[in-house]
Structure 1
Amino acid sequence: MTHAPVRHRNRFGPLLGLAGLWLLGTTATAEDDPGARIAHEGNDRGAIACIQCHGEQGQGQAQPPFPRLAGLPEDYLIEQMHAYRQGQRRNATMAPIARHLADDEIEAVSHYYAGMEPAGGPHRVPAGLLERGRGIALEGLPDRNIQSCASCHGEQGRKQSPALPPLAGQPPRYLMNQLREYAEGSRQTSLAGLMQGIAQALEEEEMAAVSAYFASLPAREE
């Protein structure tokens, strides 16, 4: 009596098939979306992939401080890239990347990150700084004619407008560095006229405190 050969069913076949489809979908997304391609692969003219510093989800990182990009306004992101290219913002990493991107690539990658769900934060910060920063962010310093950050950026740092970036979930050192650059006059973007006076009026400890407050907030409402 002969027996028919036993056929062992591959239990992992369906899973491997799904994985393959997922990989194909990921590749197709990068191929179809020029912004996603720049973000994940860079280009062949010297611009490295954005995700190397800003993370797979555009969430940024605390050390060294790279800002979150996910969910920032598209017009704001475009302006910053041109500012790096033209020397209105000084950064040894970003300036050459911006110079190696064409205008249409800057627009595409900005559109890509603006369309992502906000990601980043909350960051752990010293409790003492947090309380001091909350007061400045929400109430300002009226005795010194310093307006509250919330009046433009919202109480939770998530207010959206084409030119104003949300601050929630940004790394604390990144926020601190930007206030210093405004105070020194080395960040000459469209917000410089407003931000320079505010930053120059703040003490270092106050800059650190308000940076800690916004860094302690999640980028997306939980």
Structure 2
Amino acid sequence: MKNQLKIRLLTLIGAGLLSLSLSLHSALANPDSPGGKKIALIGAEPGIPSCSACHGATGAGQLSAGIPRLAGLTAPYILAQLEHFRHGTRENALMTPFAKKLNTTQMQAVAEYYASLPVPRPSGANPPVDQQLRKQITMGSSLAENGLSQSAMPACAACHGEAGLGVGTFSPDIAGQSAAYIADQLHEWKANDRRDPLGAFMRAEALHLSPSDIKAVAAYFASLPGASTAKGATK
């Protein structure tokens, strides 16, 4: 009788340990596990602020303030940018010190979390379309889809896709991003500020654009609807 009870007890303990092991494995393998979500919404630990403080709880960013959307970008792209910020190959007064406080595992977790979120379309992200803005969007559409023949500048769509949704992990989704953010990035490329060393092509592209061209391209991509909000569900 005692042996049977001991066997039953050991069986229950073994089953419990197996269940715990499977739960831990699932949490580590799941991009929506508390690792990435906790860093995004609460912060990794004291002294490391949450991503949501700037990028919002849904990853929508603050488009009117030029803070980009992260939701729906690919995990490899987000991770690469965090690595660039950490190592100084891309500079930003806010992002560089933040990235330096995260280890690679934490970066991977938060990148996968944001990549899993649907793309929100927050209200008031960009100004109403008046006549001047409509002209900018039309001009930007031509530049994005056709490039500049006189300077042999390729179309933006060649890399970012016709709808600005990016091409796999090669180029990011910029449809529906902040016009201010897109314009800032193009100006930084043009000024040869420290950026992703693999993005030399973007600098060559930006050098062909005048300030009015940059404003037009930014307005055009900001006006696009972005990826379907049906992707995933907000965690």
Query: Which TM-score bucket, shorter chain as reference?
Result: 0.7 to 0.9
Matching of residue 111 in structure 1 with residue 121 in structure 2: no
Counterpart contact for 2:190–2:207, Cα < 8 Å? yes
Cα RMSD for the two superposed structures: 2.2
Q: Separation in 1 of the partners of 2:142 and 2:113?
A: 35
Map of 2:134 onto structure 1: 127
Map of 2:195 onto structure 1: 188
Q: Which amino acid aligns with 1:155?
A: E
Q: What is the CA distance between 1:163 and its match in structure 2?
A: 3.0
Q: What is the CA distance between 1:190 and its match in structure 2?
A: 4.5
Map of 2:163 onto structure 1: 156
What TM-score comes out, normalization by structure 2 length? 0.77
Q: Separation in 2 of the partners of 1:30 and 1:48?
A: 20
Map of 1:79 onto structure 2: 80
Q: What is the CA distance between 1:46 and its match in structure 2?
A: 2.3
Q: What is the CA distance between 1:210 and its match in structure 2?
A: 0.3
- Work out the percentage of aligned pairs sharing the same amino acid: 35
Q: What is the CA distance between 1:188 and its match in structure 2?
A: 2.4
Matching of residue 165 in structure 1 with residue 172 in structure 2: yes
Counterpart contact for 1:68–1:120, Cα < 8 Å? no
Q: Which amino acid aligns with 2:215?
A: A
Q: Separation in 2 of the partners of 1:30 and 1:195?
A: 30
Q: Separation in 2 of the partners of 1:179 and 1:102?
A: 29
Q: Deviations over 1:64-119 (max 9, x none)?
A: 21100001011111110011111121111111110111110000000111111122
Counterpart contact for 1:120–1:170, Cα < 8 Å? no
Map of 2:68 onto structure 1: 67
Q: What is the CA distance between 1:30 and its match in structure 2?
A: 11
What TM-score comes out, normalization by structure 1 length? 0.81
Q: Deviations over 1:104-150 (max 9, x none)?
A: 00000001111111224673351121111011011111121011011
Counterpart contact for 2:31–2:113, Cα < 8 Å? no
Aligned length: 195
Q: What is the CA distance between 1:191 and its match in structure 2?
A: 4.0
Q: Separation in 1 of the partners of 2:31 and 2:41?
A: 8
Counterpart contact for 1:38–1:109, Cα < 8 Å? yes
Q: What is the CA distance between 1:160 and its match in structure 2?
A: 3.4
Map of 2:211 onto structure 1: 204
Q: Which amino acid aligns with 1:62?
A: L
Taking a change above 3 Å as real, the CA distance of residues 99 and 49 of structure 1, as seen in their structure-2 partners, is same
Counterpart contact for 2:192–2:203, Cα < 8 Å? yes
Map of 1:6 onto structure 2: none
Q: Which amino acid aligns with 1:160?
A: V
Q: What is the CA distance between 1:217 and its match in structure 2?
A: 1.0
Counterpart contact for 1:60–1:120, Cα < 8 Å? no
Matching of residue 137 in structure 1 with residue 140 in structure 2: no
- Corresponding residue SS for 2:181: helix
Map of 2:100 onto structure 1: 99
- Gaps of at least 5 residues in structure 2 are 1-26, 230-235
Q: What is the CA distance between 1:208 and its match in structure 2?
A: 0.8
Q: Which amino acid aligns with 2:211?
A: E
Q: Which amino acid aligns with 2:100?
A: R
